């Protein structure tokens, strides 16, 4: 099982590295939205709006990134994977891969975003931790939802409808944590909030692990 997960993650990295344009398009998305934000706020932005806009950019980047995650597995090569791998190994590998991708993406968007709009955060380390945990939680919920959406006729349209209400508690918590990081000291550590994020991570990974086999079988 663990061996299979490892192989599948390596396969995903290889395949997506071969088709790098998808990765570049996500980075370009982050770059252009940050620049649009810079232009529309003319460089002066209140701290609260900074936080809200940052998470909206990350949310849509996450949605774009995970939308395509099952395009091979559930459509074109479904039978091939069905014979080859256990469904639980597939969902675990996808969750791990998407989390890693999204952590990378949101940290780089944090960098780009701060470059254009400045960085008002005080507790940097806690904020980076919050971004990391938050984006892996986003990724693990979105991975399962994209598997659900891939089963429908209109997957890209449904993705937003299905996932945004589910991500609401997570996003509210992320915005709240970021605001705490905004006003606090350098060494501030929002333990409860980060614990909540970690719990959401575990819960959504567990749900994906338990529920994905039912989506898989057709």
Partner 1 sequence: MKMKWWKTLGIILVLYSIITGLLFPVPKLDILNETVRNLYFHVTMWFSMIFLMLLSMTNSLRFLSGFEKRFDLKAETYASTGLFIATLGLTTGMVWAQFTWGAFWVNDPKLNGAAVTMLIYLAYFILRNSIDNEESKARVSAVYNILAFVMMIVFIGILPRMTDSLHPGNGGNPGFSNYDLDSSMRMVFYPAVIGWILIGTWIAEISYRIKVLDFNKENN
Structure-token pair, residue 178: 């970021």
Interface with partner 1 includes 215 (CB under 8 A)?
Answer: yes
Within 85-124, the residues that bind partner 1 by CB under 8 A are: none
Q: For partner 1, which stretch binds (CB under 8 A), given 32-40, 79-87, 102-110, 155-163?
A: 155-163
Residue-by-residue DSSP string for 7-67: HHHHHHHHHHHHTHHHHHHHHHHHHHHHHHHHHHHTT---HHHHHHHHHHHHHHHHHHHHH
Kindly tell me which of 6 and 151 has the beta carbon lying closer to partner 1: 151
Q: Which of 48, 77, 169, 183 binds partner 1 (CB under 8 A)?
A: 169
Cα–Cα distance for residue pair 216/160, rounded to 1 Å: 21
The answer to the question of residue 137 lying near partner 1 (CB under 8 A) is no
Torsions phi, psi of 46, nearest 5? -75, 155
CB 150, min distance to partner 1, A: 10
Residue 165 engages partner 1 in binding (rule: CB under 8 A): yes
Whole-number minimum distance, CB 76 to partner 1, in Å? Answer: 17
Q: How many CB atoms lie within 10 A of CB 18?
A: 7
Examine residue 173 and tell whether it contacts partner 1 (CB under 8 A).
Answer: yes
Q: How far is the C-alpha of 178 from the C-alpha of 55, rounded, in Å?
A: 9
Residues that bind partner 1 (CB under 8 A): 144-145, 148, 151-154, 158, 161-162, 164-166, 168-169, 172-173, 176, 192, 196, 200, 203, 207, 211, 214-215, 217-218
């Amino acid at each position: 099982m663990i061996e299979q997960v490892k192989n599948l993650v390596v396969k995903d990295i290889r395949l997506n590295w071969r088709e790098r344009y998808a990765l570049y398009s996500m980075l370009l998305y982050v770059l252009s939205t940050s620049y649009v934000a810079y232009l529309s706020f003319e460089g002066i932005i209140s701290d609260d709006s900074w936080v809200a806009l940052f998470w909206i950019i990350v949310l849509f980047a996450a949605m774009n990134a995970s939308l395509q995650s099952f395009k091979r597995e559930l459509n074109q090569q479904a039978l091939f994977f069905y014979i080859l791998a256990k469904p639980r190994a597939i969902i675990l590998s996808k969750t791990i891969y998407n989390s890693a991708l999204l952590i990378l993406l949101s940290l780089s968007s944090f960098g780009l975003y701060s470059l254009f709009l400045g960085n008002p955060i005080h507790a940097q380390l806690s904020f980076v931790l919050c971004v990391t945990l938050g984006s892996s939680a986003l990724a693990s919920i979105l991975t399962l939802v994209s598997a659900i959406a891939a089963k429908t006729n209109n997957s890209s349209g449904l993705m937003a409808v299905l996932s945004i209400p589910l991500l609401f508690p997570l996003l509210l918590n992320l915005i709240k944590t970021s605001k705490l990081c905004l006003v606090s000291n350098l060494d501030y550590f929002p333990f409860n909030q980060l614990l909540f994020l970690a719990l959401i991570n575990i819960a959504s990974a567990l749900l994906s692990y338990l529920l994905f086999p039912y989506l898989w079988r057709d």
